[in-house]
Amino acid sequence: MIKLSGKDVTFGENTISQSGQRLLTKSGIREHSLSGKRTTGFHWNGHRFPPPEAGCVLYLPGYPAQGSILQDFSGQGNNGTITGATWERLPSGLWVQYFDGTDDYVNCGAVLALGECTFKFWFKSGHSAGNVGIIGFNGVADSIGFSLIGTAPLLLLDGSNYQYFVDISAYLDSKWHLCFLYIAGSGLNDIDNCSLQVDSNNIAKDGAPVKTVSPNVWSSLIWGRNSNGPINTYLGLEQVVSGSVAAPVRVKSFVQERHLFGV
């Protein structure tokens, strides 16, 4: 079957521009502008969504939006297994996951050993009280991970290696926000250099870090809960990047992706 679409021609699963400078496959490779200077996104069955950050080891853009598997588009094969969480389609056409705060989560397995990395994800939550987990590093039965203690974020790398951040209730307003969580590594003092950014704003640390022992190695990466409990939230475009994401790139991501979430 041949389908004309603007200046592109689709042959089965492949799309080629008339200039011959672009190839888009059903598996979703990067689409480059004709100048070759910028990456504009991925295609999947006619849908376009943002490309992953450089160094990405997990990317969950939400396609295809069906079944109990959340496809990883990083090329690392870290597909997520959905338990309870449901698919929700935004007006932009982007698919996200809804976690009802009761027993929902997504298990991506052992994505990578604990080391320097950045978590990037969009979230929408009205959480206001109680302790809940957003990310678990050692499955659902361990509090190691990223949580909200009330409305204050807590990064817990081990029971004796953690950092609190100041209250973020202003971002728990049932609107979409972009979060970057940076972990410097698995050494005893790496908690000193962790950071949290929401939208384009750096979230201050609340007090000094506690660092009695070096962090444990991760066993299973969970989205939507840890032993602090499940969170009632929407999550979208979840990523894990090996290493750091530069500040200008973080700001650019917010500017380029916010329209997908209506902000």
pLDDT, one tens digit per residue, over 214-225 is: 988 888 999 999
pLDDT, one tens digit per residue, over 149-182 is: 999 999 999 889 999 999 999 999 999 999 999 9
Q: What is the pLDDT of residue 202?
A: 96
Nearest one of 29, 6, 3 to 19, comparing CA atoms: 6
Q: What is the pLDDT of residue 63?
A: 79
In order of their start, the domains of the chain are 1-48 (no CATH), 50-261 (2.60.120.200)
pLDDT, one tens digit per residue, over 174-210 is: 999 999 999 999 899 999 999 999 998 999 999 999 9
pLDDT, one tens digit per residue, over 54-97 is: 889 999 988 777 789 999 988 888 999 999 999 999 998 889 99
pLDDT (average), residues 97-101: 96
pLDDT band at 2 (very low <50, low <70, confident <90, very high): very low
- How far apart are alpha carbons 56 and 39 in whole angstroms? 15
Question: In whole numbers, what is the pLDDT of the chain averaged over residues?
Answer: 83
Q: What is the pLDDT of residue 184?
A: 93
Q: What is the pLDDT of residue 6?
A: 43
Residues 162, 164, 170, 172: is their CA dihedral positive or negative? positive
User: First CA to last CA across the chain, in angstroms?
Assistant: 38
pLDDT band at 46 (very low <50, low <70, confident <90, very high): low
Q: Are 166 and 247 in contact (CB under 8 A)?
A: no
CA-atom Rg of the chain in angstroms: 19
Residue 45: pLDDT over 70: no
Which of the two residues, 128 and 19, has the higher pLDDT score?
Answer: 128
pLDDT band at 110 (very low <50, low <70, confident <90, very high): confident
Tell me the percentage of the chain whose pLDDT exceeds 70: 81
